[in-house]
């Protein structure tokens, strides 16, 4: 693999880690606010953020083994 390819993969992993952290914060805030106010919209937004966090975690897992050589 070329060094440009490896650099791109590392950048992709970094973006996904930042995305995962943001999604986890989003889950905690929206579910806490939704449960405390009884807002179904906020609870649903938290549920959607869980799906997005799973997607980011999967991409981190997929990119983990790539570009380590």
Query: Does residue 67 register a pLDDT over 80?
Result: no
By CB atoms closer than 10 A (0-12, 13-18, 19+), residue 66 is middle
| pLDDT tens string 10-66 | 999 999 999 999 999 999 999 999 999 999 999 999 999 999 999 999 999 999 876
Taking a C-beta distance cutoff of 8 angstroms, is the pair 54, 17 a contact? Answer: no
Q: Spell out where 1-69 has E strands.
A: none
């Amino acid at each position: 693999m070329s060094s440009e390819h490896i650099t791109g993969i590392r950048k992709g992993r970094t973006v996904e880690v930042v995305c995962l952290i943001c999604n986890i914060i989003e889950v905690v805030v929206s579910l806490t606010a939704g449960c405390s106010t009884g807002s179904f919209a906020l609870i649903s937004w938290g549920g959607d953020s869980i799906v997005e966090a799973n997607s980011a975690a999967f991409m981190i897992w997929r990119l983990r083994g790539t570009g380590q050589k």
